[in-house]
Amino acid sequence: MNYQETIDYLFNVTPLFQNIGKDAYKEGLDNTIILDNHFNNPHKKFRTIHIAGTNGKGSCSHTIAAILQSAGYKTGLYTSPHLIDFSERIKVNGEPVEKEFVIDFVKQNKDFFEPLHPSFFELTTAMAFLYFAEKKVDVAVIEVGLGGRLDCTNIITPDLSIITNISFDHTQFLGNTLKDIAKEKAGIIKKKKPVIIGEYTPETKTVFEDKAKSTNSDIIFAEDNKLINGYKQTENGLLLYKSDKIKDLYGELNGLYQVKNTNTILNAVYKLIELGYNIDETNIKNGFRNVCHLTELMGRWQKLEENPTIICDTGHNIGGMKYIVEQLSRMKYDKLHIIIGMVNDKDINGVISLLPKNAKYYFTQASVKRALPAEQVKKIANNHGLKGEAYSSVEKALTIAKNNAKENDLIFIGGSTFIVADLIVLYKSHKL
């Protein structure tokens, strides 16, 4: 098999959450442990940092990886989902996993794993850990796939655990209350290993405190240890943070939600320094300022064009959309155009109820099986007073939006990671 045939095989032989949702979810670590043992426990051959949370874990993972790279550490990074190509999920110093490694991994091991019927995420987690071990990384930043306690990344014993925040998402797996969701996320807290909590509510704080006490883990609540006192947008699109801890800190990621992410990241980095990591102020600044270049991160309040301004963001739940709507309200434009689509297992009414009424809407759907049909998105949005037409693809929606927009207008595209993925593919292939 060549690379594309191998990827197609992985997508078809294993249940892929990205495409089919809950039917791909496998609770428990049994398969993960069997796979890990088969490969001689590669996760024990490098240091790790484990990151969970409802929102922000991708940005935090990439930024911490960028800081570690800047400090000279050979750094693995495991995140999901991918936007364009599978190889984005597994990186070393920002470079995607080699295609030959993926081909060989499947070719050499499929007779072993096929009888197990692992999920896509179980198999790719095993692949990532093996790759990092073979590449002899110093440290790997591991992003939780879903939840924490039973997530297949949770076989690691990290130097540091980070939980960015708790919001309602994947409630069919994690519970219907913030307290229940927090219990699942808190499952990544390990015995005598410190944990950083980015944001909390009174009910989730108690969960985290109880878990940390039971594991004898040092716990830091970043909201109670504010290292960011303010920020301003610079002319070149960066965020300049005000901090008593570090001067002239510029962030390449400039969505408003990055302010809290940055406070969480700084708390985490200074804890890593306490733990013996050799990271200095220059490394921190370089990581924040060049995270997209260093790790190839895409889709976080990413500006694609000007005149009209075109921006996309992968925020897809209530917590993420609140920040997006706030940022849109602060921007200057003549008319707002919003292209939006969602997948069928999200709180669609909750997200759509947050969207501004004064925009022209283009309802669409991503090219994954979980995508909610554009006409259904339109129907739900109409019930919330949003007006617009339905389009069967992101390409069609954006083509019409660009035809309608004037140079001082703003076009925003989002609602789903997969909507943004389709969009980025279009730009990479120069179809727009």
Chain centroid to Cα 162, Å, comes to 14
CA–CA distance, 173 with 145 (Å, rounded to integer): 12
Confidence at 225, pLDDT banded by 50, 70, 90: very high
Phi, psi of 10 (to 5 degrees): -60, -45
| Positions of CATH 3.90.190.20 in the chain | 302-428
Query: What radius of gyration do the chain's Cα atoms show?
Result: 21
Q: What angle do CA 228, 233, 234 make, to 5 degrees?
A: 115
Amino acid 166: pLDDT: 86
Amino acid 223: pLDDT: 94
pLDDT tens, residue by residue, 326-344 = 999 989 999 999 999 998 8
Range name among 12-21, 280-289, 303-312, 336-345 with the lowest pLDDT average: 12-21
Q: Could you tell me the CATH superfamily of domain 302-428?
A: Mur ligase, C-terminal domain (3.90.190.20)
Q: Is the dihedral of CA 430, 306, 317, 223 positive or negative?
A: positive
Q: Is the dihedral of CA 367, 372, 375, 381 positive or negative?
A: negative
pLDDT tens, residue by residue, 33-74 = 999 999 999 999 999 999 999 888 999 999 999 999 999 999
Q: Of 315 and 131, which is predicted with more confidence?
A: 131
Amino acid 307: pLDDT: 95
- Whole-model pTM: value is 0.91
Cβ-proximal residues to 402 (8 Å cutoff; 6+ apart), any chain? 308, 310, 411, 432
pLDDT tens, residue by residue, 133-142 = 999 999 999 9
Q: Of 289 and 171, which is predicted with more confidence?
A: 289
Is residue 65 within 8 A of residue 141, CB to CB? The reply is: yes
Q: What is the 3-state secondary structure (H, E, C) of 214-233?
A: HHCCCEEEHHHCCCCCEEEE
Amino acid 272: pLDDT: 98
pLDDT tens, residue by residue, 245-286 = 999 999 999 888 899 999 999 999 999 999 999 999 999 999
Provide the token pair at 316.
């897809």
Q: Calculate the alpha carbon distances from 46 to 67, 109, 193, 227 in Å.
A: 17, 22, 16, 29
Q: Could you tell me the CATH superfamily of domain 3-295?
A: Mur-like, catalytic domain (3.40.1190.10)
CA–CA distance, 152 with 78 (Å, rounded to integer): 12
Is residue 30 within 8 A of residue 232, CB to CB? The reply is: no
CA–CA distance, 152 with 122 (Å, rounded to integer): 6
Q: What is the largest CA-CA distance in the chain?
A: 59
Give the residue-averaged pLDDT of 17-36. 66
What average pLDDT does the structure give for the chain?
Answer: 92
Q: What residue ranges in 105-238 does DSSP mark as E strands?
A: 139-143, 160-163, 195-197, 219-221, 230-233
Provide the token pair at 103.
């081909």
Confidence at 23, pLDDT banded by 50, 70, 90: very low
pLDDT tens, residue by residue, 75-125 = 999 999 899 999 999 999 999 999 999 999 999 999 999 999 898 999 999
| Positions of CATH 3.40.1190.10 in the chain | 3-295
In this structure, what DSSP letter does residue 55 have?
A: S
Residue owning tokens 């706030």: 326
In this structure, what DSSP letter does residue 35 have?
A: H
Is the predicted pLDDT of residue 19 greater than 80, yes or no?
no
